[in-house]
Structure 1
């Protein structure tokens, strides 16, 4: 009976897949036969595997792995979502779930509170970043995965939770009681005035509340006499298409085309236009983007650029121009499947990688320069496809040192901020706080006591080069040069702490600020000495430069003479 249930479940999946494939219009007899044949092979293969494989297998897990592997051969965005992961999927699209309102993370063998969100149960109960979770309702969680712990913390709203924690710097565990609530994460964690006339809005995701939150923020900023706006989309991975359209519609006139989609099912192709009266079609806008700006962020920045409605500042965006549609499957599962590509008003597609034409090794290459096509904005500025949105004003990306990256990766800065916050009741206002020389000395002492050690990418590359030189028998004639270069590139903690003191101090101060002022404070602190933001302010304050960038007389997208 057990075997019959297993094979029956697999056969049901096979039939479902076959019916789905037939539904999508494989009309030719040869194609239908090929599908039927291969699904039958899959079923018989699994049946034999289940009967004769030497060890017991988990049929559900094995089938999911096979489906994941199949879908990953298409593109990274076409995914199978089992019923157990539906809540996580809803969180990505709505920003809403029932839980304690905190980000958790794995730290060695422990799961810790990485960031409590202000105003939610974890915050109300006094949980702090760095707290180690020991038990949840009597269940020990040491050595469990973050997924396991997350499942214990999430669930039905209004249910009490008893959580036992270990707080660094405290001798005894602490018991915390809280009640699970419906959590709605903000799409706009921070907005405010940068100068007397320039407002700022930080949008971190396109959930179903994104446009409404931006509209409310803009209304408030205008009441504070904002005459121009910085919209920060850096690190924003995207989200819902309708929210991207509504965000653009806040700034462009009704009837303007914002984006179109084209795919395999032509009847699904659609042109999306601004359908509402804009809140402010004239306010000067600078949109901040970087490599982490993707999908809906690229629709917003690309549409505003193509319509000559705003100046784009920063670095080229990610280049994710594929449309996903969610299809319902049996047993409450879903398939998120790529069905089309995005095209912004100039007609260009923002997709960077062509997953349908892979290299011989299976990798995916970017569109070559020879195939990049020129398009034109509404007022005639040249813009180009080839992946992502190229800003009107490019700002050089600041790279962190290898020391800083390793300090972050090894939780050194995080752990020091935890101890600092647990021993300091308060800190000055965000604009006045900075790490003192004494604090930096304490940080240096802290990481040395932790026996922190690190490698740099340069030394790893040098080791690889040295190995190749030895294999090719060139090392003996160049060993002196190798040794001299190794001496210069090898990490030296005292030297590097002195050399990168300002960078390390700033990162540490930022982490400490988040302990007292939470997500909103973290965003606000990150804006100081922000070169990209400062350039945007400079452009908005210089009407000649702003107008010149939009009319094509200056900048990366200057209009070509015809």
Structure 2
């Protein structure tokens, strides 16, 4: 037996004996006895495995897997953060890390630059989206995962790196030299005037600088004569609670309730109010949300709705109303543990799934309709709990065709945009660029000649399964004609569907090309050109009667979806 196994067993013994002693030191009741008993059972099982299992085991890996499996039975947000994951955890909370400033991705068997961030080392060194990484400081990245490559790119700032790349459409490999820097990702990657009187702020995360960025954007937009504001929280997964409170406080008066937390440890229960004078407590606000808006995004949109401070538009939000607290563990590790639930000003909880009561198969159900409770906003409008924030103005989500989904999955838009950008020096601005019919025809030819593209539809796969079941049950003979007719109608037809969804395909292609030249800011600017939710928000903000009517409850009352 190797020394590694002995050290692992000794390490586990020390921890478990300490835990046992600690639990017995606090109390002798049955609950603590059960804890101590099971910890000792776990240790003895681990010791026997370490001594007698036929192959050598990795103690650290085995224990981590057992901890992950244990936490998985609770909720998705209670997680163990190992020492190697600490930097990623810091990135989530601060938006800051030391690296090259680029998003990387796996494409086929290669790791590529998916998106360089404007103004950072990768951008300054001339790295482009689609570049295939071959070596980093002489170390081959062949066969490595994106996590492995990320670890090579991140580290101490001011360290020089040489990245050997292969650029699609270019025969020779290139060496790109750069210096690793501290990267601070923006929480507000774009803001601007979308009409002569309406300002727009796109907030994509809640890190420790988010409130400051929103505040600066708001002040600048007001200086540009913004008479109303659109705050876009679509796809924003949340983040730090204090930032959600500060951002809400930019729009509501000092002393207003924003959110409260309630958990098992009553001394941690807390009510959070606006503690500062707002930037503007009167300016009309439209908050945009969708299924991807969660946690802190739901606190902001929910508080704005409950206080009748603005109109919420879009789709029902995710429904994450659970509070996580980070607890320090030994050896520079952490436990992110759910300690409470969020309650917004009306008193409702925004949590959608009940993890404390699982179904027999282990799945988690939503709050039952019979348990959904009615609450009231500051003006007396009806709102409901049961999960997430239901918008004041509901807008059906836009969906893509199965053809577009297949093309996204197989990197068709990405790969064509890569070749296009590598052979064309510039394009029109993000607000003006269009994919011409000539360029679209080149794209269609590229797709048809690609060996990487496969066009499948879910409905035909389901039909195949149904046909197989009919054959097994000997029912196929009596429905042969019906199956044949349905198969003919549902079968993917590339030429037909390219024409059916031409406008959609052109838009997706244009968006991908725009990002190559105008980066993240340009991509957002392009996506706003024909945005149904944004256009509806503009309508509401430009109609004083509709805006006021929604907030006083005289028009636009929504009903809960059951």
TM range (shorter): over 0.9
Deviations 1:301-332, CA, capped at 9 Å, x for gaps:
00000000010000000000000000000000
Aligned residue for 2:106, secondary structure, equals strand
Give the root-mean-square deviation of aligned CA atoms. 1.4
Note the C-alpha offset of 1:474: 2.6
| Structural mapping, 1:68-79, within 5 Å | 68-79=68-79
User: Counterpart in 1 of 2:502?
Assistant: 501
Aligned counterparts, 1:223-234, within 5 A = 223-234=223-234
Shift of 1:118: 0.4
Deviates more, 1:346-355 or 1:484-493: 484-493
For structure 1, the residue ranges without an aligned partner over 5 or more in a row are none
Query: Is the contact made by 2:285 and 2:311 (CA closer than 8 Å) also made in structure 1?
Result: yes
8 Å Cα contact 2:355-2:364 kept in structure 1: yes
2:267 counterpart residue number: 267
Whether contact under 8 Å (2:374, 2:382) holds in the other structure is: yes
**TM-score, length-scaled by structure 1:** 0.97
Partners of 2:449 and 2:65 lie apart in 1 by 44
What is the correspondence of 1:245-256 to structure 2 with a 5 Å cutoff?
245-256=245-256
Paired residues for 1:69-468 under 5 Å: 69-451=69-451, 452-468=453-469
Please list the CA deviations of residues 87-133 of structure 1 after superposition, one character each: whole Å capped at 9, or x if unmatched: 00000010000000000000111000000000000000000000000
Partner-residue secondary structure (3-state), 2:183: strand
In 1, are the aligned partners of 2:161 and 2:177 still within 8 Å (CA)? yes
Aligned partners of 1:92 and 1:207 also within 8 Å: yes
Structure 2 gap ranges (5+): none
CA distance in 2, matches of 1:111, 1:214: 34
Residue 554 of structure 1 corresponds to 555
Whether the 8 Å CA contact 2:24–2:33 is kept in 1: the answer is no
Tell me how far apart the structure 1 counterparts of residues 353 and 278 of structure 2 sit (CA, whole Å): 34
Shift of 1:22: 7.1
What is residue 476 of structure 2 aligned with on the other side?
A: 475
CA apart distance, 1:469: 2.6
**1:16–1:182 Cα change, 3 Å:** farther
1:4 maps to which residue?
6
| Aligned counterparts of 1:558 and 1:230: Cα–Cα separation in 2 | 24
Q: In the TM superposition, what is the alpha-carbon distance from 1:12 to its structure 2 partner? A: 3.1
Question: Offset at 1:54?
Answer: 1.3
Provide the residue aligned with 2:16 in structure 1. Answer: 14
Q: Post-superposition shift, 1:454?
A: 1.9
Shift of 1:521: 0.5
Does structure 1 retain, via aligned residues, the 8 Å contact 2:393–2:558? no
| Structure 2: distance between partners of 1:461 and 1:344 | 43
Q: Which stretch of structure 1 is more off in the superposition, 419-428 or 492-501?
A: 492-501
Looking at structure 2, the residues matched to 509 and 192 of structure 1 have their Cα atoms a distance apart, in angstroms, of 21
- Does the CA contact (< 8 Å) of 2:5 and 2:59 recur in 1? no
Determine the C-alpha separation between the residues in 1 that align with 2:375 and 2:300: 17
Structure 2 CA distance for partners of 1:22 and 1:140, relative to 1, 3 Å: farther
- With the length of structure 2 as denominator, give the TM-score of the two structures: 0.97
Task: Provide the residue aligned with 2:546 in structure 1.
Answer: 545
